[in-house]
Structures are given as structure tokens and as C-alpha cells.
Chains A and B, each alone.
Chain A
Amino acid sequence: MKQIRNFSIIAHIDHGKSTLADRLIQHANLVDARQFRDQILDNMDIERERGITIKSQTVNLPYNSKKGEEFELNLIDTPGHVDFSYEVSRALASCEGVLLIVDASQGVEAQTLANLYAAMEHNLVIIPVINKIDLPSADIDRVKDEIEHELGLDAETVLLCSAKEGTGIEDIFEAIVERIPPPKGDIEKTLTALIFDAHYDSFRGTIVSCRVFDGRVKPGDTIRLMAMGTAYKVEEVGYFRLKMESKKELSAGEVGYLIAGIKTVSDTRIGDTVTLDTMPAHKPLAGFKEVKPVVFSSIYPIASDDYLSLSDALEKYKLNDAALVYQKDSSAALGQGFRCGFLGLLHLEIVQERLEREFDQSIIMTSPSVQYRFYLTDGRILTVDNPAYYPDPAVIEKAEEPYIRASIMIPERYVGAVMKICMERRGVNSHLNYPTAGRVEIAFDMPLAEVIFDFYDRLKSITQGYGSFDYEIIDYRESDLVKLDILVNGERVDALSMIVHRERSRERAVKACESLKDEIPRQQFKIAIQGAIGGKIISRSTVAPYRKDVTAKCYGGDITRKRKLLEKQKKGKKRMRIVGSVEIPQSAFMAVLKTDSE
């Protein structure tokens, strides 16, 4: 068997994972310096702007070791956000080892821990790497100490590098070939390959990234996707070296892509097992699960004429994002649209941005909601992710909402403040852990609904950026839920309704009215904004009317300037929606959920 090493890079967000990946690629001489763009693996604009990796991509790196041996290293890139933790777990299942990156000044963070645990679950060899040692604020001794005590890894094994400056890269390559074991697997056995990623190409259809565990696969083979129960004829296999390079076959231990006339990404499932249709494996590889959306929101076109265009855009977008689910929805205020399910809030924002940017859609997104369960008096159980379908309170026997286990890491001095916001957000079962002096890990059970919106932003701001956060969904728990309606000039705007906990309802209503007051532009008449539960008004604010805006003169020299102003307003107007007689900007639909103003 060829000398192969399969590995991933894992890190807390912003610790330099993508920069290191770029360095490794550059070092492998796959590209000359002129072609080299920063962060080659993050090939989408949004990712580049946000500095996070959303879709993982794999690259095959040739490497000649110091001992003179030839290796092929497969770097399997992983998404760097908690919304995509299942995708991360499948990428890790395809590796034998990981580089665990820790920022030389930030040290160990919540996602460092979460990533480490995930890697340990897969029995991977872990190579700790301290990155950004060039920073003036780098504190290598402290971070080594944290790696030893908080992560339980041997400080002697830690490598030092600066991906930005390109120092320490050779040592990393050597450690990969020395410490990470070669993949096991039997080329003679029947084919089992794990799908860990898929993306859509308009010319080739779906390109599936997979790790072959046993057997081999080549063009002409008929493969079967075990969970989907579908069969396809393989057209091409190969690996990525910045572009796709086809090969005769992929065999046990190898990582690469396969193209088999699969129409859309949604026809595949990450975590599914590929086997041969003629000689299928007895059982699929372990760990497959269907990812389920946890955050829901409706998308409406700003101009209702654009419904068909939005429908078309969503269909196209969906080709490349199996995690997004959507169905038709309609609102009295906003007309026809789509109810969409997302893996998390970041996923939601990505979908929103890509629809606007790549598909040129002007959309309104309603405030996100989680999925509630209502047990009705007639024995039925109703699952509701859209406040519009909140049942008649008289027939609700009990209600439940999803809970998460939040894990927060902070310097000790912020414990009080962080405990406070967690309690405010109905956190229970707190648990404190002191991994090293001065640092605290806080765990809380909290309703998902309380963290989906601005919890992370709040945490960042009260800890001055030192707080880090990770969560997993644990269960559903009983909860006293009511529907909060928002009335604008006496008209209920269904798209602004939300389901909230009864004890929090008054406070949420007051805050929603306040935020809306700032978001809704003044108009010629007074606008009353009210929060109501059932028929009862519990909060109120007013947008003062706009009376006069005339400027005295308009002659030859004034016209261009005035028109340019209008053109600017026209752009802004694209983000407004008229409800009743009031113009409501897109931002208002999100602002109702903001729980704290800065």
C-alpha cells in the first residue's frame, strides 16, 4: 500500500486553521506563489469575509519526508462552527489523526475542548500545534501549560508554528508522517466508503467526497448509497489537488471524490456508506444519522411578484446544501413565502446572504424560532416551529421546548456576569469546573430558544471577547409557553409573532416594542406598536410622525444631487415591506428577538 496519511485540522474559530491549511498546500508546491490566493480552501466569498470555513474541502498533498520516503497526505478540511458539528464528526471519522491548533495568545477555548473530545471519540492521534507564535501577545509557556492541564496532552509533543509567517511548517509535515498511523483497510474486501461531504457542480452533478475503508471503486462500477437505498454508475473517481484530478480507482485507505450522475446534493447524505451494488457490504459504517434542522424562519420576497424567482433561487441553492429544508408558507402580512429549517443561526445567515448575493434576491426573513411540542387535550401532539400555528391555548395540555447543554469557557473574573445572563435566559443545572487557575468552564442546561439569537454576541461583549461557547442539544422539557403578538397600528403582523416563555413574556414584549420603534422609520402619521398576549396589550411604543421635509429651492444645480439621494433611498427601499400602511424594514423582523440593546 502507498504511504498515506489522512488528517484534519481542528481549532477554535479564528485560531488560524485556514491559514495553516494554505501554508501546507503552498509547501506541497501544488501552486506557484502567483496563483496562490489566501485561504484557498475557503472558496466562498462569505467564508472569506467571515473568516470561517463552512463547506469542507479535501486536498491531496504529496510530501517527501526527511528520510526520503514519498507520502500522500490527505488534508480533510472541516467546518469551523458548531452549527456544522455533524459534518465535522464525519470528516474526523475519515481520518487517523488531527492537528489541534491553539492560538498562542488566546489559549484553549471552548471549541478547542469540544474538538478535542470529538477527535478522541474517533481514537485519532492528536498533534497539538501552537499557532501565531509571532504575535507580540503570544504566551507560549502559558498555552503549553493549558494544553497539558486542560486538554491532558503531553506538553513535550506540542509543535510551534506561525502559519502567517510560514515558520514551523516542515516540523508539522514530519510529525504528520511520523506520528499519524497509516490507514488500515483491506483492498480485497467488499467496498465500504464514508461520504463526508458533497457539493454540486452545474456540469458534473454532485461531487461526493469520501474515504474508502475497504475495497476499491472505479469508473464503471455500480455503487449503492446504503442509507438512501439508491444505485448509481460511477463515471469518475479522483482526488483534489486544487482542481479535480481523475484516477483509475480509489482503494482502501484513500480519500477522494466520486462522480456518479447523482443529480443533487440532497440525493446524498453525509455519513452514508457507499458500497457496490453487486456485492454490498453486510452493514454500513457506524455513525450515520440524519441531521435535523433546529432553527426555523420564513423567507418572503420583498416584492410579492418575486415569489417565483425566490422559489427558483431556493431550488438552485438547495442543490448545494442538503441541510436546508423548506416548504411553502404564507403570511397575512407578507404574502407567499417559504418556511425554512436551518442547522443553526449561522447556517441561517449564510443562506440569507447567499440568496441575496449569489441569487440576487431581495428577501425578508422573519425572526427565527425553535421547534416546540404541544400536547393537546385530545391526545394529539403538535410540533410547531412557526408561531402562526400556535394552537388555541384552551386545548393545550402541556408544552415542551428543546434544551441544550451549553459549555462556556471564560477567565474567572467574568463568572458573575456570565452566570447572570445564563440565569436570565432560564439556565438551570449549572456546573462549574476549574481546569486551570484563573479559568472557568461553566455548563448550563438552557432552552435553545434563549440562545439562538444573540446569546453568543452578548457573551462576547460581557466577557470582552474572552468568552467562548459551545453547545449540544440534549432533550425536550416542559415549559409554560405563550404566543406574543405584535400589532402595528392596531393590525397584528403575523410575521412578527413569537412563542415565548410566560415569565419572560412581558420583558420580551417591552424590548420588542422598543427595538421596533428604532427600526421602523418615521412616517407621516403616528405609528403605534403594541405587544399582546391573547387579546391583552402588555407593552406599547410610538413612532412619532414625520411632518415636514421640504427644502426651499430646487433649480438646475440641485437636481442631480437630489436624484442621487433618491437613488440611495431606492436601494434602501428594497429592504422595506409595507404592512397595512406602514413600511417595515427587513431589520425589524430580526430586531424583535434582540433581548438586550448595546
Chain B
Amino acid sequence: MDPPGLYVHIPFCKTKCPYCDFYSVTDLSALDAWLEALNKEADMYRDVFGIFDSLYLGGGTPSLLDNRQMETLIKMIRRCFAFTNDVEISMEVNPDDVDVEKLKCWHDCGINRISIGVQSFDDDELVFLKRRHSATGAKRSIEHVVSVGFENFGIDLMFGLPSQTEDILISNLEKALTFEPKHLSCYQLTLEKKTPYGRLKAEGRIKPLSENKEKRLFALTSAYLKSKGFIHYEISNFAKAVQYESRHNKKYWQHIQYLGLGPAAHSFNDNKRWWNCKSVDRYCKDISKRIKPIDGFEILSDEQLRLERLLLGFRTKFGVAIRDVKDNQSFEQTLLRLQRRRIVKVVNDKIVPTVKGFLIANRLPQMFF
């Protein structure tokens, strides 16, 4: 069985980005209390999972931890859990937090994969996204990352902003590639309901791009990056080579077990999934009472697991196993039709989406119900 992955959610941000729907707070005063609670939570799961081959520090903004806090965090995680020798330790980094001292500390801590949340190399877009950094600042940060010796780093970009043209998108991609990243995440701006921008959209004050335009930008991103030698291995993710695909994130997409620590983190084990409360305060309180800060859980039926394999599989180049869909009476007909329209390919025993398939990944599962 594939080794499990470990996720740590660092639920703190200096400022909230108006489109983001991950859980975080901007009051940093609880940071040390949270770190102490995290230590105890890790202790609660000491022998539950086996040997991990990935650790992912996400958020929130992991890079806002100071060096002492980061060292403490890594030490306690390593004290509670065992890792393989080739463990992938990833960390999300905000360009504004980067300096050489910090980078050296992270490097010494064993962090060997960095995702830099650049989002855009266009200052107007960065203003719209209310990011803390400028395009110049972002470039400088990436240079530091390279200079400290992080060979495996990636750049996160966003596309599909209301004012975005194909030219701006290509220019963003070109600029990113000048740094020769091993990985690119290109997220389409999604105006989630419960975010400030989601509300502006509901009020009609932000107009999302037309379906056709979004589609063109997505296809363009994929085609451009592929022409530069990248593998489009998940809807929003590109890797320069197979070994640079995110080992950790693939666990989510392939139903490999993972443990999530920290507020709002999700865990998955065989057929169980549970998630922590979305409150730093309650998280700390629960743990001080020696109870796990779990907010909910579900035990998945075989059918639910199958549905998830469909929804996840059609989002990646790994696809969906034919045995998961062939009970459907019109399966062959559906498959032929989708192949003819070049929405999917059949590779060995898998149905694999093409870029056209990625475009309608949400709709593909229901065609095989």
C-alpha cells in the first residue's frame, strides 16, 4: 500500500485575500498557543498511521512563521511521526515573507519543495487580488529561493481574472518560465459564495468571464505549458517531469490515506474521513481537554468511494478505472461517444480525460452513473 501523507494546516494570514475560501485568521496572537496545541494533536495520532512519505505545510500562510516557530514545528512533527528517507516536504510560501535567512532555515529544516504563491506577474492583477507583493517583489523572492538552493520549487498562478486577456495570461506564463520552475499550479479564479468576491459577484459588481473565454484561457494555458515540456497531470497542476508531480496532493486525488493536523484539516483513512473544527479557539480548547478537535466524520460506502474515484479520477491524467464504470448499461456507447469527441482516451484499463475532458470534469462522472 502507498505510504500515507501528512498535512499541517497553518491557519494564519497577515491579510485575507478576498477570493480565498480556505480557513485562516489574521489575529496572530494565538500562534504560539496553536503551535502547542498542534504538538498535542500530533501526539494523539502517534501510532495511527504508518510511515509517511510526504509532509505538506499549507494554509493559511506557513511562511509567516518565524524561524524559531518553524524549527519547533518540524521538530515536534518528526518526534511524533516516522518518515521515509526520501520524504517530500512541501511548503506554501507567500513571496512577501521571503528572505534569505528564512529560506536557509527552511532548507535546514529539511523542506525540499516550495510553492511560491505569486498568482500574477501583472501589478494590476495583483492589486485586484489584494496581494501583499508586487511583480518585482515576486521576482526577487523567486531569485532568493533559487539562490538558497531549492532545486524543486513551483510557482502558483491564477488565471481567468475578470480583466484578463490571452496576452496577459501568456505574459504571466512566460515570466514564470524564465525562472525554470519544476512545477506550476494555474488556478482558475473561482468566486466562491462565502468570500468577499463571491458576494460582489452575487451583487453583480464583479462579472466573471464568459464560459467561452474561460475555456479559451484554460486551453491556452494547457497548450502553452505542454509546448514547454510540462505534464498537465491535474486540472490545475503542471510538472516538468513525473518526479516533480506533487506526491502529497496526489494522495488526495488517488484515495491514498492522509492525516491532516490543525484547524479545518481533513483526514482520510481507508473508508473514513474526518475533519477538524474551523476555529483556532475551539481547536486549542478541545485539545487542552484532551479531546480530538474533530468537527465531523463520514464512513464511506463502496458506492460513495466509487463516486469519489470518478470525480477525482476525471480531474487527473491518471483517469478512472474501467471497472469502476462498466456496470453502467450504456457504458460502451457513452465511452465511444466521448472518445469520438476526444473528451477521453482509453489507456490500458483506464479512461483518461483529455484537456477537453478536464474542461467538463465535473460533468464526466454523471455520464457514467
Contact status of A546 and B189, CB under 8 A, knowing A524-B343, A554-B312, A556-B268: no
Q: How far is the CA of A578 from the CA of B312 in the complex (A)?
A: 24
Against A, the Cβ 8 Å flags (1 = close, 0 = not) of B199-224 are 00000000000011011001000000
Q: CB of B155 within 8 A of chain A?
A: no
Which of A383-391, A465-473, A477-485, A563-571 lies at the interface with chain B?
A: A563-571
Q: Which of A542-563 touch B at CB < 8 Å?
A: 546-557, 559-560, 562-563
Nearest B residue to A566 via CB reads: B307
Contact status of A566 and B310, CB under 8 A, knowing A524-B360, A550-B361: yes
Q: How far is the CA of A574 from the CA of B174 in the complex (A)?
A: 47
Q: CB of A436 within 8 A of chain B?
A: no
Q: Which of A348-404 touch B at CB < 8 Å?
A: none
Q: CB of A573 within 8 A of chain B?
A: yes
Docked-complex contact B190 and A559, CB < 8 angstroms = no
B115 contacts across to A, CB distance below 8 A? none
Docked-complex contact B337 and A581, CB < 8 angstroms = yes
Q: How far is the CA of A547 from the CA of B210 in the complex (A)?
A: 10
Q: CB of B324 within 8 A of chain A?
A: no
Docked-complex contact A548 and B304, CB < 8 angstroms = no
Q: CB of A598 within 8 A of chain B?
A: no
Other-chain residue from B218, B267, B298 in contact with A550 (beta carbon distance below 8 A): B218
Docked-complex contact A303 and B329, CB < 8 angstroms = yes
Docked-complex contact B252 and A563, CB < 8 angstroms = no
Q: How far is the CA of A524 from the CA of B7 in the complex (A)?
A: 37
Q: How far is the CA of A552 from the CA of B214 in the complex (A)?
A: 11
Q: Which of B31-80 touch A at CB < 8 Å?
A: none
Q: CB of B308 within 8 A of chain A?
A: yes
Q: How far is the CB of A46 from chain B (nearest CB, A)?
A: 28
Docked-complex contact B366 and A570, CB < 8 angstroms = yes
Docked-complex contact A305 and B363, CB < 8 angstroms = no
Q: How far is the CB of B347 from chain A (nearest CB, A)?
A: 21
Q: CB of A65 within 8 A of chain B?
A: no
Q: How far is the CA of A305 from the CA of B329 in the complex (A)?
A: 8
Size class of the B contact interface (CB-based, 8 Å): 35 or more
Q: How far is the CA of A554 from the CA of B316 in the complex (A)?
A: 11
- Tell me if B's interface is mostly helix, strand, loop or mixed: mixed
A36 contacts across to B, CB distance below 8 A? none
Against A, the Cβ 8 Å flags (1 = close, 0 = not) of B349-369 are 000000000111111011001
Q: How far is the CB of B194 from chain A (nearest CB, A)?
A: 12
B273 contacts across to A, CB distance below 8 A? 559-560
Q: How far is the CA of A553 from the CA of B268 in the complex (A)?
A: 18
A570 contacts across to B, CB distance below 8 A? 307, 366, 369
Q: CB of B165 within 8 A of chain A?
A: no
Most-contacted residue by chain A among B7, B236, B369 (CB, 10 A): B369
Q: CB of B198 within 8 A of chain A?
A: no
Q: How far is the CB of B363 from chain A (nearest CB, A)?
A: 6
B330 contacts across to A, CB distance below 8 A? 578
Q: CB of B121 within 8 A of chain A?
A: no
Contact status of A554 and B266, CB under 8 A, knowing A304-B329, A524-B341, A559-B252: no
Q: CB of A525 within 8 A of chain B?
A: yes
Nearest B residue to A574 via CB reads: B369
Docked-complex contact B252 and A573, CB < 8 angstroms = no
A552 contacts across to B, CB distance below 8 A? 187-190, 235-236
Nearest B residue to A303 via CB reads: B329
Against A, the Cβ 8 Å flags (1 = close, 0 = not) of B254-270 are 00001010001111100
A562 contacts across to B, CB distance below 8 A? 311, 362
Q: How far is the CA of A566 from the CA of B367 in the complex (A)?
A: 11
Contact status of A551 and B211, CB under 8 A, knowing A524-B341, A524-B343, A578-B330: no
Q: Which of B273-324 touch A at CB < 8 Å?
A: 273, 275, 298, 304, 307-308, 310-312, 315
Docked-complex contact B307 and A563, CB < 8 angstroms = yes
Docked-complex contact B366 and A553, CB < 8 angstroms = no
Nearest B residue to A556 via CB reads: B266
Docked-complex contact B304 and A563, CB < 8 angstroms = yes
22 sample A-B contacts, Cβ–Cβ < 8 Å, listed by A number: A546-B360, A546-B363, A547-B211, A548-B218, A548-B359, A549-B363, A550-B218, A550-B361, A552-B189, A553-B236, A554-B315, A555-B249, A555-B252, A556-B258, A556-B265, A556-B268, A557-B266, A560-B266, A560-B298, A566-B310, A569-B366, A581-B337
Q: A525-B341, A552-B187, A566-B307 are in contact. List 18 more A-B contacts (CB 8 A).
A: A524-B363, A548-B212, A549-B360, A550-B359, A552-B188, A553-B187, A553-B236, A555-B249, A556-B258, A556-B265, A556-B267, A557-B264, A557-B266, A557-B275, A563-B307, A569-B369, A578-B334, A581-B337
Q: Which residues of B contact A (CB under 8 A)?
A: 7, 22, 187-190, 211-212, 214-215, 218, 235-236, 249, 252-253, 258, 260, 264-268, 273, 275, 298, 304, 307-308, 310-312, 315, 329-330, 333-334, 337, 341, 343, 358-363, 365-366, 369
